[in-house]
């Protein structure tokens, strides 16, 4: 989706505000949203791609005006309802529906904390050929899907070089919509800054973008 | 500046927003959701407390600093770190070999690396903790790829033309960490002393690690 979230290469968004001694959370509610998202995510009713997409479909003005954890809260509510963990009525009333059962077994700290270093779980140990080889020239496809994609607009149609092959990962464009994992190779593709931004870019500089097989074609 | 949604915020367009952000009073709404989820057994309150404590107090840039310090002190470790970051970071228990995939990119006198996630906020949690607001902000995400040298100048670092600036846009499930250059005057320092010099910003690539004389002053 060509949304506001795909902002690589935009200009005039203002200065970067670097807060000195920034706290991890700026309010207690932010930390609770963060923790609820991780804890509820442990039921594996959704995946990170689906979560990212909940933020991408926010109206653009809301996306720009809301804070990070406001976006998380909105996405969490959306997924909880859409994936059947709670109902919209329950969120409205703040009470479990009469006769609803309690989720078991409880996801205690002992179950949640050891899984943190393996939170993302996107790599798949399935054999699959690499469609592209390290050193090969490739073109990022010019695709404009209406759903979730991790192919940024600034790279589409541009030619780069396969820098390394990271192995097989789930494909976000289908995974975000619960349409299957479609595992395939992911590569770091090196694009010269001049290829992306034109002659005014410094000659040696480059941008590495991680890309799945389905985003690429031979150049 | 950090955008904040205020109670005055309203939607001028009147169309139905299927996905609406928190309109106001997040504290109350978040509390209400937490009570509901606890009551339904979907989250365990002790697990929430433990998660907050973990990311506020246990997992943060000190983890990454220890990795960087060891790479500076031990060339064999550095070689492993650059070849297979998960394997090398597992030495510290920050990450398992099968865990979130990490990639370490090395700064040299001729190459400077900068990490960004233009599409959202991907960041190497196991070694840096949660990202600061600026990293997730539109100004940084938008400009880091088109004008990295301008961004770096804003952070107070400048590079000569003959230094190659490499930007890593974290579009997939790979998490990048910059191995900064070891500053001069640190030849006799222990691994712990070295780790104390390493900042979060240097491991994202928006700062250099300063020599001890400058850190103290």
Structural domains of chain A in order of their starting residue, each with its CATH number: 28-118 (1.10.472.20), 137-218 (2.30.30.50)
Contacts of B121 in chain A (CB under 8 A): 68
The CATH architecture assigned to B60-216 reads Alpha-Beta Complex (3.90)
**Do the strands A206-212 and A184-192 form a parallel or antiparallel pair, or are they unpaired?**
antiparallel
A96 reaches B (C-beta below 8 A): yes
A126, exposed or middle or buried, with CB in 10 Å at 0-12, 13-18, 19+?
A: exposed
| pLDDT for the residue numbered A34 | 98
Give phi and psi for B24, each to the nearest 5. Answer: -165, 170
Mean pLDDT of chain A: 96
CA distance A87 to chain B (A): 11
Q: Count interface pairs A-B at CB distance under 8 A.
A: 306
Cβ-contact B207, B215 below 8 angstroms: no
| pLDDT for the residue numbered B99 | 81
Integer Cα distance of B134 and B31 in angstroms: 27
What H or E segment, with its residue span, contains residue A64?
A: helix A60-65
| pLDDT for the residue numbered B215 | 72
The model's pLDDT over A27-73, given as tens digits with 9 standing for 90+, comes to 999 999 999 999 999 999 999 999 999 999 999 999 999 999 999 99
What H or E segment, with its residue span, contains residue A78?
A: helix A68-82
Integer Cα distance of B41 and A120 in angstroms: 23
Which stretches of B21-177 are DSSP H helices? 26-39, 45-53, 61-73, 75-83, 85-89, 125-128, 133-136, 138-146, 148-154
A16 reaches B (C-beta below 8 A): yes
Interface test with A, best of B4, B13, B21 (most A CBs within 10 A): B21
Domain boundaries, chain B: 26-57, 60-216
What H or E segment, with its residue span, contains residue B112?
A: strand B111-116
The model's pLDDT over A165-186, given as tens digits with 9 standing for 90+, comes to 999 999 999 999 999 999 999 9
Interface test with B, best of A207, A209, A214 (most B CBs within 10 A): A207
DSSP E strands, chain A: 137-140, 159-169, 184-192, 206-212, 216-218
Print pLDDT tens along chain B (217 aa): 334 333 333 333 434 444 555 556 899 999 999 999 999 999 999 999 999 999 999 999 999 999 999 999 999 999 999 999 999 999 999 887 778 899 999 999 999 999 999 999 999 999 999 999 999 999 999 999 999 999 999 999 999 999 999 999 999 999 999 999 999 999 999 999 999 999 999 999 999 999 988 775 4
The residues, ordered by sequence, that sit 6+ positions from A191 with a Cβ below 8 Å of its Cβ are A155, A158, A159, A160, A206, A207, A208, A209
| pLDDT for the residue numbered B24 | 61
Task: Say whether pLDDT at A24 is over 50.
Answer: yes
The secondary structure of residue B108, as a DSSP letter, is B
Integer Cα distance of A180 and A171 in angstroms: 8
| pLDDT for the residue numbered B19 | 52
A17 reaches B (C-beta below 8 A): yes
A113 reaches B (C-beta below 8 A): yes
A2 reaches B (C-beta below 8 A): no
**Distances A206 to A135, A136, B88, B112, B148 between C-alpha atoms, Å:** 15, 16, 27, 11, 10
Contacts of A150 in chain B (CB under 8 A): 119, 171-172
Contacts of A33 in chain B (CB under 8 A): 26, 30
Q: Which of residues 73-92 of A touch B (CB under 8 A)?
A: 73-74, 76-78, 80, 85-86, 90-91
């Amino acid at each position: 989706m060509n949304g506001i979230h795909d902002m690589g290469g935009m200009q005039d968004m203002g200065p970067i505000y670097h807060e000195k001694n920034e706290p991890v959370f700026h309010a207690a509610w932010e930390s609770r949203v963060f923790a609820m998202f991780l804890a509820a995510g442990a039921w594996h009713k959704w995946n990170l791609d689906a979560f990212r997409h909940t933020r991408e479909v926010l109206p653009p003005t809301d996306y720009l005006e809301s804070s990070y954890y406001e976006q998380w809260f909105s996405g969490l509510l959306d997924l909880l309802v859409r994936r059947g963990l709670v109902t919209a009525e329950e969120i409205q009333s703040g009470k479990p529906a009469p006769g609803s059962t309690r989720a078991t077994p409880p996801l205690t700290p002992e179950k949640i904390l050891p899984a943190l270093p393996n939170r993302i779980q996107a790599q798949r140990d399935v054999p699959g050929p690499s469609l592209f080889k390290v050193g090969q020239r490739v073109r990022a496809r010019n695709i404009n899907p209406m759903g979730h994609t991790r192919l940024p607009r600034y790279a589409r149609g541009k030619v780069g070089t396969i820098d390394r092959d990271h192995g097989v990962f789930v494909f976000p464009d289908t995974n975000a919509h619960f349409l299957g994992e479609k595992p395939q190779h992911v590569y770091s593709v090196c694009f010269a800054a001049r290829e992306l931004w034109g002659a005014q870019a410094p000659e040696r500089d480059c941008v590495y973008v991680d890309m799945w097989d389905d985003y690429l074609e031979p150049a | 500046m950090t955008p904040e949604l205020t109670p005055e915020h309203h939607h001028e367009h009147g169309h139905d927003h299927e996905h609406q952000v928190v309109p106001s009073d997040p504290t109350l709404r978040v509390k209400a959701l937490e009570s509901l989820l606890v009551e339904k057994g979907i989250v365990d309150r002790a697990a929430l407390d433990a998660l907050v404590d973990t990311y506020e107090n246990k997992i943060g840039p000190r983890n990454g600093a220890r990795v960087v310090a060891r790479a500076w002190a031990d060339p064999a470790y550095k070689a492993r770190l650059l070849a297979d970051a998960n394997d090398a970071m597992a030495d510290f228990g920050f990450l398992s070999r099968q865990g979130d995939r990490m990639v370490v990119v090395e700064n040299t006198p001729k190459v400077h690396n900068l990490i960004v996630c233009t599409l959202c906020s991907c960041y190497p949690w196991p070694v840096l903790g949660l990202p600061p607001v600026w990293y997730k902000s539109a100004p940084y995400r938008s400009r880091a790829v088109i004008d990295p040298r301008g961004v770096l100048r804003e952070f107070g670092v400048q590079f000569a033309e003959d230094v190659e600036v490499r930007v890593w846009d974290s579009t997939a499930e790979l998490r990048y960490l910059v191995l900064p250059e070891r500053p001069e005057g640190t030849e006799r320092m222990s691994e712990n002393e070295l780790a104390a010099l390493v900042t979060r910003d240097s491991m994202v690539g928006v700062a250099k690690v300063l020599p001890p004389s400058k850190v103290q002053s």
